[in-house]
Amino acid sequence: MTGPASMVGAGWRRGWGRDEGGSISPFVVIVSLAIIMLAALVIDGGRQLNGKGRAIAYAQEAARAGAQAVDVTDPRLDLDVGLALRAAGEFCAQARAADAQLVVCRPNITTINDPAGTFRAVTVTAEVESDAILLGIIGRSILRSSGTALARPVSGISEADSGKVSTMGPPSVGPPSPGAPPSTAPTSVPTETMEPCIPRDEDEDADEDADGEDPGEGDDDGDDADGDDDDDLEVCPEPEPGSD
């Protein structure tokens, strides 16, 4: 007896025996590898540039530390070689102790020919190592970055650091004009004269005394003399409102 159930079972048995094999397109493989290499360029390339900057910074700071060792007995203020190497070496030791990725920090002394003469300078070579993230799949697991710097003491500027020549001359300052310097004081000072006068309070008291004086009493000669002097003076004017 053949029914729907037996037909489904026969179809399932025929499908089980089919070939399920397939293939991947070469385009997918190429695009996948390109994406991985682009990611490696962005990630590990950025780490490489970062290590390069750190190596240059370590070299510059170590060179500056060594350039501080100036031989003060030399009129040209040249380097003291022993002290310069020691100072740069101490900075390198401290930097390597603080940063395990700094594997090389080596100071040295070189000679520079300057228009003012021959001088010595400190050169430092630094190298930083970091682990790669994606480049390890092609066999490059370590990223190495190096940097070099030079420094020396300079007692004066012999030329512009940028190499540009100024087209403007120095400002000219003329000599002072002959004669006495101009005076800033005012030509005349206003003066105010003070005229003597009798205060108004005293004048009122004198009027009251005159009204209450007895006609039969005589005045002393000294009082008359004083009265004559006071009669010659005028009464002080009233002060204006708001004035002291």
**For residue range 147-193, what is the model confidence (pLDDT) as tens digits?**
999 998 876 555 544 455 556 666 666 666 666 566 665 666 666 67
* CA angle, residues 164, 49, 61, in degrees to nearest 5: 60
Q: What is the pTM of this model?
A: 0.51
**Average pLDDT score over the chain:** 75
3-state SS, residue 82: helix
**Alpha helix locations (H) across the chain?**
4-16, 26-67, 81-98, 200-212, 221-231
